[in-house]
Amino acid sequence: MNEDVPARWAAARDTVLLDGFHALKHALRFGAEVPVAVAADRGAALRLAAELAPDVVGRLDALLVEVGEDGLARLVRRPHPTGVAALARPVEREPAPGAPVVVLDSPRHLGNIGAVVRLAAGLGAGGVITTGTVDPWHPNVLRAAAGLHYATAVVRRDVAALPADRPLYGLDPAGADIRTVDLPADAVYAFGSERAGLSAAVRGRADALVSLPMRAGVSSYNLATSVAMVLFHVRPPAAG
């Protein structure tokens, strides 16, 4: 391994781990600051970029340092199958105006949070806000989100700091069918934790409760599935 790499890796403070080629690809595509990036096989990583993401090949070529499989294993506890890892500066920004915002109320499952970030980025949401103790920039969340934190706002907030200038709809089986409600474009949609549902604090902040259609006898949807259904329902019509 290049002797300078472990020192650069250790010196890159206040960074998050981008685990795998796709996380690094998205981070670069959406403007992340990446102080160090490594690959077990630099040539293989660049060939993968040329095939799947030619728009980032130049930046990857300038960044990537080859460290071999053993070197990558010393830097990253569980190397991604693509043999790529990087460190990037997290970005904290407010949710974008004019688009729906997702609130995850005290989520517990890191993979679910990452899946929601990925959905929010893909469906053009203004951002994802989490409450509770889980860090939405945890490496496992970034891995599940494929680095798409840089394509949408991702922040953790206290319930008291949730957006006050937008209507907040809480997802709850007792709420009105979401298909019957006139929803503003910039509404906030709060989803309860996988086990406990909406907290009393978020429920108290909600302007109204809405529900997703569901067959009788079925207990619930997966959290990321619920978010996908809501964002797809409220997305603006396709142009043209």
Q: Could you read off the pLDDT of 180-199 as tens digits, one per residue?
A: 999 999 999 999 986 778 99
Q: For the chain, what are the domain ranges?
A: 4-88, 101-234
**What are the pLDDT digits (tens) for 80-105?**
999 999 999 999 999 999 999 999 99
| Mean pLDDT computed over 62-79 | 95
Residues 171, 211: contact at Cβ < 8 Å?
yes
CA distance 73 to 82: 13
- CATH number for the region 4-88 comes to 3.30.1330
What DSSP character marks residue 129?
A: E
In the structure encoding, which two tokens stand for residue 177, read together?
A: 């069918």
What DSSP character marks residue 104?
A: E
**What are the pLDDT digits (tens) for 106-125?**
999 999 999 999 999 999 99
- Name the helix (H) or strand (E) containing 11: helix 4-11
Q: Does domain 101-234 have CATH number 1.10.10.10?
A: no
- Scanning 136-184, the segments in alpha helix (DSSP H) are 139-145
Least confident of 1-15, 115-129, 215-229: 1-15
In the structure encoding, which two tokens stand for residue 89, read together?
A: 């500066």
Q: Is the pLDDT of residue 2 over 70?
A: no
Q: Which CB contacts under 8 angstroms, 24+ apart, belong to 56-64?
A: 56/25, 56/28, 56/29, 59/28, 60/24, 60/28, 63/34, 63/36, 63/37, 64/37, 64/38, 64/39
Confidence category of residue 1, pLDDT binned at 50, 70, 90: low
Query: What is the pLDDT at residue 198?
Result: 95
pTM: 0.93
Q: Is the pLDDT of residue 216 over 70?
A: yes
| Mean pLDDT computed over 43-69 | 97
| Mean pLDDT computed over 45-66 | 97
Residues 83, 45: contact at Cβ < 8 Å?
yes
219: left (phi over 0), alpha (psi -120 to 50) or beta: alpha
Q: Is the pLDDT of residue 239 over 60?
A: no
